[in-house]
């Protein structure tokens, strides 16, 4: 697989990365650990060098999985993880609030290093902007970790343009990780412009709309009781039924390219900018292979215009997050 650089940071990764969250958290019960470790190693064999995890995924067990699976090939891969939450396994989803105090950031780094079985974190994201801690203090704490060699690059997740600029002035930001897909394009405009101006890479999470853009989900799909999608407005049966028009549009255009809807959705992201690296997640080998196949699909300017024109004519039903979660993003 070809590689891309995340902005001007010099951090080079595979054109498509692998989001590891769903292996342990978010989409139902954790998958079999041995099977997921084998899938992670297979991803490396297929050319993936960029793996995304976080302390809160599990909590903790996803970092442990990634660390164990990738330890034998540690020097061949780039591992990204995140800080910024108070973790309490006793509360719902393990999140007891935000915490990006400098002292806590350093504690998380030390714990993540142990779980990941490594001596450095390649990319350390603030998971969500903490309204109680100035972003300059956050960037300063990561800057110290970079000086110590424990962290190589600083990232932000779901941050707004002003926050990105303030953080970047203290410690250069290598990448912004935010939700972005043909189905959710809210970061276009001010945020994307700031990234291009400052030379910051973009790592879209949920590039396949949490599975919806694969075409395998409809209003009759039943999610496990622990599946995060049960609380998302876009995944009510009514919203799913209404939004199927979007998938039908993707299917039609994908067929013309000899591709699947998922591949077209990923190819669209790759064609947006050369510093965009999506991280679709999966627990299945055939899905991994399908997703990676998107890197071979080339979309012309006219293809992009055709896709975006068609997408603009379809109104998406439902917000991406319930209000309490949306309030944690885009600051």
Of 160, 154, 156, 157, which Cα lies nearest the Cα of 187?
160
Cα angle vertex 75, ends 143, 292, to 5°?
100
Q: Find the catalytic residue in 25, 27, 57, 205.
A: 57
Q: What is the 3-state secondary structure (H, E, C) of 308-327?
A: HHHHHCCCCCCCCCCHHHHC
The number of beta carbons lying within 10 Å of the beta carbon of residue 8 is 13
Q: Is 180 a catalytic residue?
A: no
Supply 268's token pair. 């669209």
- State the distance between the two ends of the chain, measured CA to CA, in whole angstroms: 35
Conformation bin of residue 257: beta by default, left when phi > 0, alpha when psi is -120 to 50: alpha
Classify residue 7 by its DSSP letter: B
Half-sphere exposure of 227 (CA within 13 A, CB side): 15
Active site residues: 57
């Amino acid at each position: 697989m070809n590689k891309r650089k995340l902005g001007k940071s010099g951090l080079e990764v595979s054109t498509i990365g692998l989001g590891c969250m769903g292996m342990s958290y978010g989409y139902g019960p954790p998958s079999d650990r041995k099977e997921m470790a084998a899938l992670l190693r297979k991803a490396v064999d297929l050319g993936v060098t960029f793996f995304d995890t976080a302390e809160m995924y599990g909590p903790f067990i996803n970092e442990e999985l990634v660390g164990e699976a990738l330890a034998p090939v540690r020097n061949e891969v780039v591992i990204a993880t995140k800080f910024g939450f108070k973790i309490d396994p006793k509360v719902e989803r393990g999140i007891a609030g935000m915490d990006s105090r400098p002292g806590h950031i350093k504690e998380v780094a030390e714990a993540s290093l142990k779980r990941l079985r490594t001596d450095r974190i390649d990319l350390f994201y603030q998971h969500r902007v903490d309204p109680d801690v100035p972003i300059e203090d956050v960037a300063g704490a990561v800057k110290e970790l970079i000086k110590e060699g424990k962290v190589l690059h600083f990232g932000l997740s779901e941050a707004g343009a002003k926050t990105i600029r303030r953080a970047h002035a203290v410690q250069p930001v290598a990448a912004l990780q935010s939700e972005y897909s043909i189905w959710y394009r809210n970061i276009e405009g001010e945020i994307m412009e700031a990234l291009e101006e400052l030379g910051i890479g973009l790592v879209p999470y949920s590039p396949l709309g949490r599975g919806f853009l694969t075409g395998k989900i409809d209003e009759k799909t039943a999610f496990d009781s622990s599946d995060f999608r049960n609380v998302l407005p876009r995944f009510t049966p009514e919203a799913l039924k209404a939004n199927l028009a979007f998938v039908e549009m993707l299917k039609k255009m994908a067929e013309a390219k000899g591709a699947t809807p998922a591949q077209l959705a990923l190819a669209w992201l790759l064609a947006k900018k050369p510093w965009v690296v999506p991280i679709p997640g999966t627990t299945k080998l055939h899905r991994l292979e399908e997703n990676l196949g998107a890197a071979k699909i080339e979309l012309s300017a006219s293809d992009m215009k055709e896709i975006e024109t068609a997408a603009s004519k379809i109104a998406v039903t439902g917000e991406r997050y319930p209000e309490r979660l949306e309030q944690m993003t885009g600051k």
